[in-house]
C-alpha cells in the first residue's frame, strides 16, 4: 500500500493501479457482507476494491463500503454503459473498470470525473483507448487472450501503456505478470473465494490480502 496516497482526493488510473499489487475483483450477493469484506481486505493491506456490477446488490454494496469504510477506495467493475457509469458515480464509486472498450463509457467516465481502467485484448482497442487519452488499461481476459506473452509483445509498439491483467490470474501466476515492465498490478477474484465469503471467514480474506500485498513487483 502506498501510504502517501491521499485517498480522499481525486484519483488517477495510475494511482488505482499502483496502490497494491492486486486489485480484488469482488462479486457480492449479500449486502450484509459488503462492509465486513471491505474491512477484511483493508486489514490485509488492500484498499482499492473492485465491486462488480454482476448482482442486483452490487450498487448498494458499493454505497455501503463508500459510506462505512473510509480507509477503502471502492470502485465498480463490469461497467458496460454510460448508464452504469452514472449509477456507480451516484453510489459513491471512486474508479471504474470495464470488461471492454467503448468511446461512450470512456466519455461518461470523463464526465463523471472518475478514472477508468477499460478492458482491451487487441492492438486496435489499445489504439482507440489512447485516442481517447487513456493509457492505463486492463488486459482482459488475460490468460485466455494470450497471457504474459501477449503483454511482452505489446511492450514494443505500446511501450507507453500500463496494464492490469485480469482473468485467470491467480496467486500462482501473478508474479509472472507483475515482473513485466508494462504491468502495474493484476486483478483477480482469488482473494474473495465464494465459499470463504459464505462462511464469513474474514480472517481468511485478510490473510489472502496480506499475502497478495507481498507479491514482488
The answer to whether the beta carbons of residues 189 and 171 sit under 8 Å apart is no
Place of cell 506473452: 149
Please, which of residues 17-46 interact with ligand 3PG by CB under 6 A?
A: 25
50 given a catalytic annotation: yes
Within the chain, residue ranges assigned H as helices are 13-18, 31-43, 58-68, 82-91, 103-112, 123-131, 147-154, 174-178, 194-198, 202-213
138 given a catalytic annotation: yes
* 94 alpha carbon, distance to own chain's centre: 11
The residue with its CB nearest to ligand 3PG is: 189
Is 206 one of the binding residues for ligand 3PG (CB under 6 A)? no
Considering only 146, 168, 193, 200, the residue that binds ligand 3PG (CB under 6 A) is 168
Considering only 95, 101, 139, 140, the residue that binds ligand 3PG (CB under 6 A) is 140
Task: Annotate each residue in 173-192 with x if it binds ligand 3PG (CB under 6 A) or - if it does not, as one string.
Answer: --------------xxx---
Q: Which residues bind to ligand 3PG, rule: CB under 6 A?
A: 25, 140, 166-169, 187-189
Give the catalytic positions in this structure. Answer: 50, 138
Amino acid at each position: 500500500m502506498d501510504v502517501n496516497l491521499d485517498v480522499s482526493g481525486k484519483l488517477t488510473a495510475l494511482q488505482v493501479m499502483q496502490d497494491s499489487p492486486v486489485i480484488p475483483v469482488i462479486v457480492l450477493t449479500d449486502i450484509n457482507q459488503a462492509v465486513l469484506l471491505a474491512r477484511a481486505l483493508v486489514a490485509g493491506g488492500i484498499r482499492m476494491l473492485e465491486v462488480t456490477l454482476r448482482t442486483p446488490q452490487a450498487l448498494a454494496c458499493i454505497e455501503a463500503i463508500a459510506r462505512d469504510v473510509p480507509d477503502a477506495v471502492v470502485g465498480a467493475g463490469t461497467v458496460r454503459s454510460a448508464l452504469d457509469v452514472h449509477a456507480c458515480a451516484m453510489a459513491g464509486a471512486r474508479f471504474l473498470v470495464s470488461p471492454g472498450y467503448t468511446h461512450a463509457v470512456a466519455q461518461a467516465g470523463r464526465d463523471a470525473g472518475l478514472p477508468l481502467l477499460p478492458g482491451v485484448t487487441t492492438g486496435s482497442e489499445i489504439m482507440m483507448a489512447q485516442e481517447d487519452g487513456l493509457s492505463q488499461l486492463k488486459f482482459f481476459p488475460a490468460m485466455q487472450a494470450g497471457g504474459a506473452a501477449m503483454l511482452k509483445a505489446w511492450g514494443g509498439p505500446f511501450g507507453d501503456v500500463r496494464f492490469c491483467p485480469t482473468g485467470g490470474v491467480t496467486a500462482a501466476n501473478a508474479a509472472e505478470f507483475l515482473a513485466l515492465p508494462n504491468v502495474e498490478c493484476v486483478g483477480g477474484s482469488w482473494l474473495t473465494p465464494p465459499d470463504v465469503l459464505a462462511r464469513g471467514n474474514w480472517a481468511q480474506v485478510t490473510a489472502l490480502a496480506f499475502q497478495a500485498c507481498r507479491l514482488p513487483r
